[in-house]
Amino acid sequence: MNKIWKYLMIITICFGLFHQKADSMMEGVLTSPMNAFELVLSIVINGSLWNGILNIAQTSGLLESLSKLLSPIFGFIYKDIKHTDNALQFLTTNFIANLFGLGALATMSGLKAMKRLDEINESKDKPSRAMMTLMIFNTTGFSLFPTTILGVRLAYGSSNPSDFIPYIILIGLIALLIGLGIQRVIDRG
């Protein structure tokens, strides 16, 4: 990411200057800090509410029973993690929250899972296999209730606003399975 950022920044600025886009680029650069602020703020602020709830669920043992319930699946996918480890609880919560379209809860539990995975990671500067698996789960993310798109479709007068949902679930599942499959192959080879 370090190198990609460096080179892309230089190339893009040169490209824009060459095409006389200096004004719009300048405007974009100047508005970015505030945009980033609002983005992080929304993660952190909405996240605090859910992290508060999440913390209650963790101390009460609710997360543990939840992850035990799903441990046949997640124990198989995250083979490296011990069944008793906290990480599994957050990974399970992250998956369920994504499924139900609870973005802020998904982000918060995902970040907590990441933190725990970092603590049990054997090499500190290389991402562990479990971390990459978590990335596959969160980037092929599909949801049973894609509320935003539903809202937009409704607003534009769609006669059947929810008819796309089976397809995105199917596509998400296929991509997820292919991703996990490729990862197995990479790690073996």
Which of 79, 82, 83, 115 binds another protein (CB under 8 A)? It is 115
Which of 35, 73, 83, 144 binds another protein (CB under 8 A)? It is 35
Q: Give CA torsion, residues 114, 119, 123, 126, to 10 deg.
A: 20
Which of 72, 156, 188, 189 binds another protein (CB under 8 A)? It is 156
Alpha helix positions (H), 60-128 = 62-77, 86-99, 103-119
If binding is defined by CB under 8 A, does position 144 make contact with another protein? no
Residues binding another protein: what is the number (CB under 8 A)?
Answer: 92
Smallest CA-to-CA distance from 97 within 60, 162, 59, 46 is with 46
Which of 122, 157, 188, 189 binds another protein (CB under 8 A)? It is 157
Between 52 and 79, whose beta carbon lies closer to another protein? Answer: 52
Segment 51 to 110, residues that bind another protein, using CB under 8 A? 51-62, 102, 107-108, 110
If binding is defined by CB under 8 A, does position 182 make contact with another protein? yes
Alpha helix positions (H), 100-164 = 103-119, 129-139, 147-155
Between 88 and 134, whose beta carbon lies closer to another protein? Answer: 134
Stretch binding another protein (CB under 8 A), from 48-56, 73-81, 84-92: 48-56
At 122, give phi and psi (nearest 5°): -75, -40
Stretch binding another protein (CB under 8 A), from 74-82, 84-92, 131-139: 131-139
**Dihedral sign for Cα atoms in the order 12, 15, 18, 24:** negative
Stretch binding another protein (CB under 8 A), from 67-75, 79-87, 148-156: 148-156
- From residue 188, alpha-carbon distances to 82, 156, 185 in Å are 20, 48, 5
Smallest CA-to-CA distance from 87 within 134, 20, 143 is with 134
Between 46 and 71, whose beta carbon lies closer to another protein? Answer: 46
